[in-house]
Amino acid sequence: MAPPAIHKAPSAGTVPHYLTDYDSARRQFTWQQERRSLAGDLDSGLNMAHEAIDRWVERGQGGRIAARFIDRNWGRADVTYAELQGSARKFANVLGSLGIGRGAAVATLLGRVPELFSVALGTLEAGKVFCSLFSAFGPEPLKTRLQLGHLQVLVTTDGFYRRKVAAIRDTLPELRHVLIVREDSKEPLPPGTADFAQLMSRASDTYETAPTRDTDVALLHFTSGTTGKPKGVTLTHAAVVAQHATSQLVLDLHPGEVFWCTADPGWVTGIAYGLIGPLTCGATLIVDREEFDPRRWYRILAEEAINVWYTAPTAIRMLMKAGTPLARERSYPRLRHMASVGEPLNAEAVIWGVEALGMPFHDTWWQTETGSIMIANFPACEVLPGSMGRAVPGIEAQVVRRAPGGKLEIVESPEEVGEIALRPGWPSMFSSYLENPERYQASFIDGWYLAGDLARRDREGYFWFIGRADDVIKSSGHLISPFEVESALMTHPAVAQAGVIGVPDPIAGQAVKAFVELRDGFEPTEELRRKIMGHARRQLGAVVAPREIAFEQSLPRTRSGKIMRRLLRARELGLPQGDLSTLEGNA
């Protein structure tokens, strides 16, 4: 049974929301209008970086802080919109001086540092394709991605270059230039590389934005690799229209507001909402250069006076694990909206937000392929804990079933599970899977894009996540949602996280097995196992409850924080583990 809806906390309603009435927002919204209000008519050209920064400088607001970088020792470095524009333009000129042509791809392998932003925006400004590689990747995953993306320029540090790139450089004939952001200027530059700072210091900060069009490719992202080998996904400059609209409608970002997106720029969220979308809204980005740490995160929320926070279920569950009292050691009077993405957000976590921080987390659903948020709980609307929310204005989303003859049918019953389908035509829809046109084609059926996720849709249009199509369990003719079982397990006080899979069963077809990570202070005893099992049975009934529970120190996760159920399954069944390039802790 679903927990009750959460209505907006009264203290949070101090800013007028962009979306106040969902139904009328949906009726009034058109992408043409959104495109026009951001960047003029279709024939006017469109450039992501221009929309993100130049517009503000042109309006005389270049002195506003675009980003604040926080280092390990709490040193803060602020970059204004005008400074970011200057460094982006310098980098655009550097690319010109290196003879890099339009449409060529430029990658970064950097931590969360200002140079990454300059390179990203400069590359876009110059009409080239930007790709941010996750900095914890080792040589093999880097090689695969650099080759697949035909990357011509790589900006990285000397340390990363020596440890990860030098040994694979010979295998990358298309990689023409490696630019080094030097950590230690006394060390000689590695052979075959150039000094980033030196090139930048010689470059002019005057640059005329390349006349890019809506359909020109702007970004290359690699998916998280949760269900298999990561896919290369391209987004066009038009994606900025949807990233802007959703930064307003879903994240509710106003000019001058302080926004913290905890996603790393190595994943799509870290660029769409860690850089582009919020800047188009005139917000100030907070960028923590360090890794997750509960105390540190609460300090940032409080001291940086974060207004809007966008984070992920794993982080939320780890904060829950660290306990509510820690959250309450500080107060967050400026915080007014919290949202989550990347994995199913358990009702328990939504409600914990109210308990610990005074407001619910608002779940949002999207994918690398969709390029922007598609389904969301909106700040001014009631939150249904455990639901992903409703389709964003401008997005037609349905739950569908496959009918004979390759047709799709819209599922009308709120009880029936089907696949999430989106009607193509929104501006940030991916334009290709790199080197895999067949797979791209296969994602579109009967006039819909099929996302590969299963859900239910209730009469009010709220979507309820069931699981990845690959993860769903079929037991004795029932379709069992791993998410539902995991959420029920998490309501037991000892359970911090759970991953649920189906294992072969001679009678039922599949049986449910749960892998459970305990909260601090609980011992993995036989007695506890029985208690959790009993709790799950009471919540779920005997058919759906796990038949087996295994305790794990930590569940296998992708580096972007998603539970890798395919790996739990492979290990359980003794099958090949598949692509492990995005497995956390894997060098």
Which residue in the block uniquely carries the two structure tokens 């580096």? 559
Q: Min. distance of Cβ 351 from ligand ATP in angstroms? A: 16
Give the C-alpha separation, 409 to 396, whole Å. 14
According to CB under 5 A, which residues from 208 to 227 bind Mg ion?
223
In the complex with ligand ATP, the residue whose CB is nearer, 278 or 344, is: 344
Contact 496, 320 (CB under 8 A): yes
Q: Min. distance of Cβ 529 from ligand ATP in angstroms? A: 27
Give 476-499 as a 3 state SS string.
CCEEECHHHHHHHHHCCCCEEEEE
Token readout for 254 is 């106003």
**Binding-site residue total for Mg ion (CB under 5 A)?**
1
With CB cut-offs between 5 and 8 Å by kind, which of Mg ion, ligand ATP, none does residue 228 bind?
ligand ATP
In the complex with Mg ion, the residue whose CB is nearer, 62 or 149, is: 149
Beta strands 337-340 and 361-365, pairing class:
parallel
In the complex with ligand ATP, the residue whose CB is nearer, 180 or 271, is: 271
Q: Which of 350, 356, 317, 298 is nearest to 7 (CA)?
A: 350
In the complex with Mg ion, the residue whose CB is nearer, 109 or 268, is: 268
In the complex with Mg ion, the residue whose CB is nearer, 223 or 560, is: 223
Q: Using alpha carbons, list the distances in angstroms from residue 56 to 67, 105, 253, 487, 499.
A: 14, 26, 15, 43, 45
Q: State the residues that interact with ligand ATP by CB under 6 A.
A: 223-228, 230-231, 267, 341-345, 363-365, 367-368, 388, 451, 453, 465, 468, 562
User: Where on the phi/psi map is residue 23: left (φ > 0), alpha (ψ -120 to 50), or beta?
Assistant: alpha
Q: Min. distance of Cβ 356 from ligand ATP in angstroms? A: 20
Contact 264, 45 (CB under 8 A): no
Q: Min. distance of Cβ 375 from Mg ion in angstroms? A: 15
Q: Min. distance of Cβ 568 from ligand ATP in angstroms? A: 14
Q: Please state, as a whole number, how many other Cβ atoms lie within 10 Å of the Cβ of residue 457.
A: 27
Quickly list DSSP for 96-126.
HHTTPPTT-EEEEE--S-HHHHHHHHHHHHT
Contact 503, 427 (CB under 8 A): no
- Reduce the DSSP state of residue 473 to 3 states and report it: strand
Torsion on CA atoms 13, 14, 16, 21, rounded to nearest 10: 10
In the complex with ligand ATP, the residue whose CB is nearer, 175 or 347, is: 347
With CB cut-offs between 5 and 8 Å by kind, which of Mg ion, ligand ATP, none does residue 372 bind?
none
Q: Which of 386, 329, 332 is nearest to 359 (CA)?
A: 332
Q: Min. distance of Cβ 223 from Mg ion in angstroms? A: 5
Give the C-alpha separation, 440 to 364, whole Å. 24
Q: Min. distance of Cβ 526 from ligand ATP in angstroms? A: 33
With CB cut-offs between 5 and 8 Å by kind, which of Mg ion, ligand ATP, none does residue 247 bind?
none
Q: Which residues pair with 285 in a beta bridge?
A: 67, 259
Beta strands 258-261 and 284-288, pairing class:
parallel
In the complex with Mg ion, the residue whose CB is nearer, 160 or 222, is: 222
Which residue in the block uniquely carries the two structure tokens 């639901």? 387
Q: Min. distance of Cβ 451 from Mg ion in angstroms? A: 8
Q: Min. distance of Cβ 227 from ligand ATP in angstroms? A: 3
Give 543-568 as a 3 state SS string.
CCCCCEEEECCCCCEECCCCECHHHH
In the complex with ligand ATP, the residue whose CB is nearer, 152 or 224, is: 224
In the complex with ligand ATP, the residue whose CB is nearer, 136 or 200, is: 136
According to CB under 5 A, which residues from 220 to 259 bind Mg ion?
223
Q: Min. distance of Cβ 488 from ligand ATP in angstroms? A: 16
Token readout for 478 is 């029932």
In the complex with Mg ion, the residue whose CB is nearer, 223 or 280, is: 223
- Which amino acid would we find at residue 410? I
With CB cut-offs between 5 and 8 Å by kind, which of Mg ion, ligand ATP, none does residue 230 bind?
ligand ATP
Q: Where does this chain bind Mg ion (CB under 5 A)? A: 223
